Structure 1
Amino acid sequence: MTAVLFDMFGVLARQQSPADCARLEETAGRPGAAFWESYWELRQPYDRGDQNGARYWRSVAGALGTHFDEERVAELIAADVASWSRVDDEMVDFVAELAGSGTTVGLLSNIPEELAAHYEETQEWLKHFSVLAFSCRIGHAKPEPGAYTWCSAAFGLPPERILFVDDRADNVRAAEALGMRGHLFTSLAKLRPALD
């Protein structure tokens, strides 16, 4: 292994909290399971950069049988960005530690443009990554094979020399199917031995 490729959400940044989810539901005016089914089922093209936030939220509205006007769409984009903006300081420090020790590190994240731009504006620790693969910029979202092959090419390394770290088993399996080593993230304590 000569490079570590990190997922963002659930590894370096926090998942949405119950309060975040409640704010999104309240902003949409559509609480409950139907909202989240539409939110996730329609998410991949948004994360992949095929559509912007306005188009995504109008698609969600259509699936829910409602309409979001321009002001509501802007509020939903802001609430969505805020919901994904809490980082794990311990993991961010660990990335800095790895990079400082000479380990090549990269980031592969399913992330829409509005959120990617927010991270670039607010998170200086992104500078530690020699490969920064935002799905909205590379045209591939995990677990699509192209997301991993893009990163391998960007590193200039064969897949077997890359350790991929993600909190979702399907994403890890997809990386392993292409030859990368995989680690299903649960904690920093369990990740450290995988780097030896």
Structure 2
Amino acid sequence: MRRIGNSAIATVTVVAFCSGAWLLYSADASHAPPQPAAVEGRPDPGEERLMAPALPPSPPTRIRIPSIRVNAPLIGLGLTSSGSLDVPPAQDKNLAGWYESGTTPGERGTAIVAGHVDNMQGPAVFYDLGALKKGATIDVDRRDGGVAVFTVDAIEVYEAKDFPDAKVYGAAPRPELRVITCGGGYSRSTGYQGNVVVFAHLTGNH
């Protein structure tokens, strides 16, 4: 395992999300989830329109991404016995998870949220994540009653062999959020070949 911010997480973290169960058995296998059109570089600090001060730690309870119609509860995720990030139960397609041994969303550092792109029944919570646009907002409800509001900086897709662990999971000097699901190419024999990653930073709270 390697250090990610203030806590440890495995190098291989999201493989279990990536079987492509629905595409494997569905007649709609040609209807793969949307992917980012191109890699968008994260902006220089001077280009950022707005930042908000860090919030005190508080576990998240729900994630909402209005532009892609996501409104899902969050559960805590730990590490499996092999050291990879655990996953939400696959049978609940409208459920996401956050790495509960790491940074809480809104706190200074890098918070991690992950969820399935599909399950045996069809599209799941982050099926449309690759269609998200720079500048979109992500709201995270917190147990303290507040809502941390994040603005999307970039949406990127990486093949598994080229996944940039330090860029995605590395420590940040401000409150940042990563939202991760499966993506990239798809093969019936191996499932999804990579991951879609959304980079966002805290721009407000209420």
- Quickly name the TM-score band, shorter chain normalised: under 0.3
Select the structure of larger CA radius of gyration: 1
TM-score (norm 2): 0.24
Higher strand share: 2
TM-score (norm 1): 0.25
Higher helix share: 1
